[in-house]
Amino acid sequence: MTDHVTVIPPTGVVPARFRPPTGSSDARTASLDGPWRFRLHPTARTGADPKDPGDDWDTIAVPGHWQLAQAPDAWPYGTPAYSNKLFPFPIDPPFVPDDNPTGEYRRIVELPEDWPTGGRTYLRFEGVDSWFEVAVNGTVVATSHGSRLPTEIDLTDVLQPGQNLLAVRVTQWSAFSYVEDQDQWWLSGIFRSVTLEHRPDAGLGHVGITADYHHTTGTGTIRVDVEDAAPGTRVTVAELGLDLAPGETATAAVDPWSAERPRLYEVVVQAPGERVVLQAGFRTVAIVDGVFLVNGAPVKLRGVNRHEFDPLRGRSVGAELMEQDVLLMKRHHINAVRTSHYPPHPHFLDLCDRHGLYVIDENDLETHGFEQEDGRWPGNPVDDPAWEDVLVDRVTRMVRRDAHHPSIILWSLGNEAGGGCNIAAMSAAVRALDPTRPIHYEGDWSSDHVDVYSRMYATSEHTELIGRGVDPALARPEADARRRLMPFLQCEYAHAMGNGPGGLSDYDDLFDRYPRLMGGFIWEWIDHGLSRRDAEGREFAAYGGDFGELFHDGTFVADGLVLPDRTPSPSLLEVAAVFAPVRLDVVDGGDALLVRNRYAFRDTAHLTFEWTLSHGSSVLATGTLDLGVLAPGASVRVTPPADLPLPPADHTPTFWTLRAVQHAADALDASWFAGGPWVVATGQLAVVPAVALADVAAGGARQEADGSYVVGPARFDEVGNLVTLHGRRVAELRVDAWRAPTDNDRRSGMWVGPSDEAVWKERGLHLLAERKISAALDADGALVVEARTAGPRTRNGFRTTYVWSSGADGSVDLRVRIVPDGRWTGSIARLGLLLTLDEAAASDVAVSWLGLGPDESYADSAKAAVGGAWSHTVRDLQTRYTHPQENGARRGVTHAALDFADGSTLTLDAGPTVYGGVPRAGVELSLRPWSDRALDLAAHPHELTPDGRLYVHVDAAQHGLGSAACGPGVLPNAVLNPAPAELTLRLTSRGL
């Protein structure tokens, strides 16, 4: 008997065949999507009779996961559960727990009256998680698995005229759960479409397209293979005037396909019984001298890992959302997708062909839970011959389904499945099916069965060694020699969990520098936060544990560049700037911009280079630079025109900003261009730096009879605490060195040593309190306050001198010097001042500033930030990361104005800022309507409520972001080590 723990390939099914785009074949199909009868049972022994039509059962929508049938409101069929790599059940293959939720599905199937006679009728499942058994009219006809792979069953001989009862039994757990241990929610059921497909006599079974491009001649060669082709079958490519027999080869002058120019040719395959219209893209993937080439040109993959995810529907993703993903990627200069870690819905690949994305199509295979601490993988199915047929079947189904897509440039055998005999078997199977594409599998550490050398989360240092070809050798010389001739790919890097990744551009620079480095794929595209409501009906994005699971991996499922609702997180804007196909980078010590054309195939004829000279919010001049047309790979240095108008030399910096703009789109760009013109790249020079705050005041303070102090609009108590500022109550002004830890701060870089969060806690930074040591007027009449700020249990702290003077026009000037005191080791989160003001409507305070913006930036994630005049409300300065954490810092701020609801304005001008003896441009500014402690404690953004105060951080510097959530921590170039800091601020008020 075959059941859900029998390790054999699907039974009663027909061999996998190519999946042409929906509607591209004229053979009849009938959708079986819609309401089905459904009953969930606690075990696989449901006792349900396949003859029972389930008339009194519930109904459920197919496609969908049963756990999400009524999301976000109710969970009648169990809840989703998230675990990363650890199996949520004992490792006891092929067995799974008796507690095994099992869905019984029923549907009456009646062939439409005009269903063609003759031919065969197939039942097709595009994806069912995890194991299922299909019965028709009470008789079991097939069993299948491979959750993200298609299953086709020939029902011709079992369908009766009129009504037929289709019964599908789906188990949540099966032997195959052991090979589908991907880092994602466990979600079950018939989650992709179900169709009846007519297979006409003399139709088209399996079709393969080989369409190569020869860059030296500008020609393409096409061959269309049709398995068991019926006599009379023809292949035509009208645009090329080709009319061929199946298997016949023809060569013609063509435009090649690439992700930059996704040129497709319509290929009509006409058999006597069926006509299919396919899209062919001519392109050749090759590895020459260790360099990855597409159409003869070196191509860098600037990619993302994409799981299929919809916050309401889980992995049941609709066509619109798929297209939204693809277009968002294109608009942010992502050129490649790894379909982590399973074949996507086939329509996604049609979209990649059409819009232009390079794809690594990955097999539905991960066995990560077998990995032991000591690096062994006992019992791993990948190294067990008993699993060979199952694993080879999986990879075969993927390649046969997808091989006609030009977007696929590599096959991947799976993810994190260890090594073993079945890797070799799968690799051989793929080579036999498709010799045109290289093979990828990161888990093959010695690269014996693959064509590209792949790692995940390699540090930039190690990546550079590989780029230079001086990385440590493999033990086996012949394997080492072979691997050194392979290009290197980071199949995962720059872990985008929460606020991050930092350091993306460090990697990208290496990809540009070393021909052997073929790029990489950021982990990952989207936060998998599932929509649910709290007790008050507020919808939020849930992560591991939010469904009451006792065994889970918490927030680790929220690690994408876009939030679950596809709102780009600031990291996606950083990606767009770093990945930009044309880069405008500051060189020559800030005197010039280097314009680099990084397209592999396009020149810059479609771009105009437009500049603006701006001084604060005023534009002083604009113009266009004629750079000529830059060929792929070409670069040119540019400087601002000599005759620029001279701006006033004052406290406001003057920027010359150059933008590469695409104004019009041709047919091949049209898909992502909507809403254009598009700024493809931005570069900026500070042509006239801000001059220091003029005339910092000295003096003007006085002491009142009660011992308190007054400095212009600022009032202090007798020990030197600021109590009101321009009449507004100040809850606190003190030194701060902590931030609400990011997901990256919470983990240790490369899994070694303590996390930044732990280091900061150890130093008491999360509980800093300030003791005023003395307050006195100095000889100039300034109020000088000495203070020490420290946390519990440590001798370390900060010694601070505040010098308050009353400035011009009723302002108050503050000079601060903060000096680390004690024996500090390790980083600190920030160093600067925290000013907490009473403000009932803090979220609505409008903030306008001169500095980097408009979005947040950090020391190691600042390529997208541009100097200028920006404004936001405090509410909009917050980034609602799925898991709340430090966010929203604006760097390089020289001036900020806060407009309060009562009509008053508080302005802040920053004078010279120095950190560790090095001058910095402006300050780092963050404003929140809640404290950092509340931000740290909140589990979800909707739990954060304004507390009646406005928290203003004015920092000399802040620690970078890094990628420690999975990978390297903050690189030395962005680590904030404790050092003396100096700030000069002028606070001015109007309207109070």
- Give whichever of 177 and 878 is closer to ligand GAL, judged by the CB atom: 177
Tokens read off for 572 = 């996606």
Q: How far is CA 202 from CA 111, 603, 789, in A?
A: 21, 47, 84
- Give whichever of 2 and 84 is closer to ligand GAL, judged by the CB atom: 84
- Map tokens 């990948």 to a residue: 382
Positions in 929-958 near ligand GAL (CB under 6 A): none
Q: How far is the CB of 658 from ligand GAL (least distance, A)?
A: 37
842 φ, ψ to 5°?
-60, -35
Contact 121, 161 (CB under 8 A): no
Binder to ligand GAL among 181, 361, 559, 899 (CB under 6 A)?
559
The answer to whether residue 745 forms part of the interface with ligand GAL (CB under 6 A) is no
809 φ, ψ to 5°?
50, 40
Which of the following is catalytic: 492, 549, 856, 924? 492
Binder to ligand GAL among 24, 84, 436, 612 (CB under 6 A)?
84
Number of residues that bind ligand GAL (CB under 6 A): 12
State the DSSP code for 621. Answer: E
Contacts of 126 (CB under 8 A, 6+ apart): 63, 150, 192, 193, 194, 195, 345, 346
Q: How far is the CB of 463 from ligand GAL (least distance, A)?
A: 17
- Give the start-end residues of each E strand in 807-948: 812-821, 830-838, 846-853, 866-873, 890-893, 895-899, 905-910, 913-915, 918-920, 923-928
Q: Concatenate the DSSP letters of all residues of 570-597 into one string.
A: HHHHHHHHHH-SEEEEEEGGGTEEEEEE
The answer to whether residue 183 forms part of the interface with ligand GAL (CB under 6 A) is yes
Contacts of 26 (CB under 8 A, 6+ apart): 274, 275, 276
Q: How far is the CB of 416 from ligand GAL (least distance, A)?
A: 5
The answer to whether residue 260 forms part of the interface with ligand GAL (CB under 6 A) is no
Count of other CB atoms within 10 angstroms of residue 54: 19
Q: At what angle do helices 570-579 and 504-513 cross, to 10 degrees?
A: 20
Tokens read off for 668 = 């091949």
Contact 359, 349 (CB under 8 A): yes
Residue of closest CB approach to ligand GAL: 183
The answer to whether residue 522 forms part of the interface with ligand GAL (CB under 6 A) is no
- Give whichever of 281 and 500 is closer to ligand GAL, judged by the CB atom: 500
Q: How far is the CB of 453 from ligand GAL (least distance, A)?
A: 17
The answer to whether residue 416 forms part of the interface with ligand GAL (CB under 6 A) is yes
CA 288 to chain centre: 30
**CA angle at residue 539 from 536 to 542, to 5 degrees?**
115
618 φ, ψ to 5°?
-100, 140
Binder to ligand GAL among 523, 738, 849, 930 (CB under 6 A)?
523
The answer to whether residue 966 forms part of the interface with ligand GAL (CB under 6 A) is yes
- Give whichever of 183 and 325 is closer to ligand GAL, judged by the CB atom: 183
Q: How far is CA 739 from CA 458, 831, 832, in A?
A: 27, 10, 11
Q: How far is CA 952 from CA 258, 420, 609, 759, 770, in A?
A: 48, 56, 38, 24, 17
CB-neighbour burial class of residue 83 (10 A; exposed 0-12, middle 13-18, buried 19+): buried
- Give whichever of 183 and 549 is closer to ligand GAL, judged by the CB atom: 183
Residue type, 534: D
Q: How far is the CB of 134 from ligand GAL (least distance, A)?
A: 31
Q: How far is the CB of 180 from ligand GAL (least distance, A)?
A: 12
Which of the following is catalytic: 126, 180, 371, 416? 416
- Give whichever of 497 and 957 is closer to ligand GAL, judged by the CB atom: 497
The answer to whether residue 212 forms part of the interface with ligand GAL (CB under 6 A) is no
Q: How far is the CB of 524 from ligand GAL (least distance, A)?
A: 7
Tokens read off for 717 = 């108590």
- Give whichever of 415 and 905 is closer to ligand GAL, judged by the CB atom: 415
Count of other CB atoms within 10 angstroms of residue 504: 26
Q: How far is the CB of 967 from ligand GAL (least distance, A)?
A: 9
Positions in 422-461 near ligand GAL (CB under 6 A): 456
Positions in 569-588 near ligand GAL (CB under 6 A): none
| β-pair partners for 595 | 584, 636
Q: How far is the CB of 521 from ligand GAL (least distance, A)?
A: 10
Residues 991 and 899: their CA atoms lie apart, in Å, by 10
CA proximity to 247, closest of 210, 212, 273: 210
Contact 569, 605 (CB under 8 A): no
State yes or no: is 492 an active-site residue.
Answer: yes
- Give whichever of 203 and 500 is closer to ligand GAL, judged by the CB atom: 500
State yes or no: is 323 an active-site residue.
Answer: no
- Give whichever of 341 and 726 is closer to ligand GAL, judged by the CB atom: 341
Residues 989 and 992: their CA atoms lie apart, in Å, by 7
Q: How far is the CB of 457 from ligand GAL (least distance, A)?
A: 7
CB-neighbour burial class of residue 626 (10 A; exposed 0-12, middle 13-18, buried 19+): exposed
- Give whichever of 495 and 890 is closer to ligand GAL, judged by the CB atom: 495
CA proximity to 983, closest of 821, 800, 775: 800
H/E stretch holding 736 reads strand 728-736
Q: How far is the CB of 579 from ligand GAL (least distance, A)?
A: 20
Helices and strands (H, E) in the chain, number of each type = 12, 61
429 φ, ψ to 5°?
-65, -40
CA proximity to 747, closest of 495, 504, 973: 495
- Give whichever of 503 and 868 is closer to ligand GAL, judged by the CB atom: 503
The answer to whether residue 71 forms part of the interface with ligand GAL (CB under 6 A) is no
Binder to ligand GAL among 415, 454, 569, 958 (CB under 6 A)?
415
Positions in 691-730 near ligand GAL (CB under 6 A): none
- Give whichever of 17 and 495 is closer to ligand GAL, judged by the CB atom: 495
- Give whichever of 78 and 544 is closer to ligand GAL, judged by the CB atom: 544
Contact 336, 519 (CB under 8 A): yes
Q: How far is the CB of 367 from ligand GAL (least distance, A)?
A: 12
The answer to whether residue 492 forms part of the interface with ligand GAL (CB under 6 A) is yes
Positions in 325-354 near ligand GAL (CB under 6 A): 341
Q: How far is the CB of 654 from ligand GAL (least distance, A)?
A: 43
Contact positions vs ligand GAL (CB under 6 A): 84, 183, 341, 415-416, 456, 492, 495, 523, 556, 559, 966
Catalytic residues: 416, 492
